[in-house]
Structure 1
Amino acid sequence: MRLVAEFTTEPFDVDGQVPAHATQALEAAQAAGLDCEFGPLGTSVRGEQEQLLPALTGVLEAAFANGASQVTLQVRRDGVRLPRSGGGGVNALLAEVAAELGGPLSGLSRGDKQRAVLLLEAKGAFEYRKSAEIVAEALGVTRFTVYNYLNRARD
């Protein structure tokens, strides 16, 4: 059975540099022979179950050995869509918006953070449970600020 694992290592904000915990986790996945996609807010890896599941131990060990304070991990069968709840779907949308805006969301100007919130709303990010908290953390602002950006756009 083919599986997909998506993981995010934290903390996100490390002076605009890709943190070692993220790069070393990616390298562990690559060394295991997994198909990897590295994004600004997370990494997606694919492989057969027998290959992927044991490799995740190495990925987690590499992340924590290189300074990760937390690793969020989701594993599913390849081809199965994520439900509209929880952080996995929001994190994927955050990665899309970060790519559109050209870099880590936490390093954006105030105006670009407002634009990011509007893009996320257009993509349906705020339909997910606890999305405002996840978005706020990625932007480096408070949840209240995210709500203010949304309210200003609606006025």
Structure 2
Amino acid sequence: MTEPRDHPFVAAVKPLVDAMGGELMDPALAQPDDVVLTWEGRDLLAVRLPQLSESLDHILAALERRHGMPLARLDRKSKQDVVRILEARGAFSVRHGVETVAGALGVSRFTVYNYLNRESGAQGKPNKNSQE
């Protein structure tokens, strides 16, 4: 990037871009799908967003760091909490999302669907994922 990485705007958006698994880059290198951010009328920064499947991997890795262990080693209640968090973040709208999550949790797809249905039942609403 031509602009210093310590610019206040870059410092402000970097944690968000990192949390999404995005990449900061020089706006001159931006491709059509990248997001160019402007500061005081000048293109300052471009953000390359990850593909959805990469985002799911990034979220799973962040959850492992948060728990301090592989997700497969969590107890059942913690795995249910992870599924709830992932559902809120749209993880199951990604193709093969259920399979990816099941693999990370060390459970079957059926178990993930049970966790999803359990959460939906507890909230008294139908589960849009139960048809997949």
Q: TM-score, normalization: structure 1?
A: 0.46
> C-alpha deviations, 1:23-80, integer Å up to 9, x for none?
xxxxxxxxxxxxxxxxxxxxx8x8xxxxxxxxxxxxxxxxxxxxxxxxxxxxxx8831
Match of 2:70 in 1: 104
Specify which of 109, 117, 141 is matched with residue 107 of structure 2: 141
Q: Answer 1 or 2: which has greater strand percent.
A: 1
| Distance apart, 1:99 and its partner CA | 2.3
Runs of 4+ in 1 over 4 A off after TM superposition: none
SS at match of 1:129: coil
Check if 1:121 corresponds to 2:76: no
> C-alpha deviations, 1:91-150, integer Å up to 9, x for none?
111112222333210110011111110111112211211100000000000011001000
User: What are the ranges of 5 or more consecutive residues in structure 2 without an aligned counterpart?
Assistant: 2-20, 24-33, 35-45, 122-132
Q: Counterpart amino acid of 1:79?
A: V
8 Å CA contact 1:97, 1:120 repeated in 2: no
Match of 2:48 in 1: 80
Tell me, in whole angstroms, the C-alpha distance in 2 between the residues paired with 1:134 and 1:150: 15
SS at match of 1:79: strand
Taking only the aligned residue pairs, the percentage that are identical comes to: 44
Match of 2:31 in 1: none
Match of 1:154 in 2: 120
User: What are the ranges of 5 or more consecutive residues in structure 1 without an aligned counterpart?
Assistant: 2-43, 47-76
Pairs aligned (count): 81
Q: Answer 1 or 2: which has greater helix percent.
A: 2
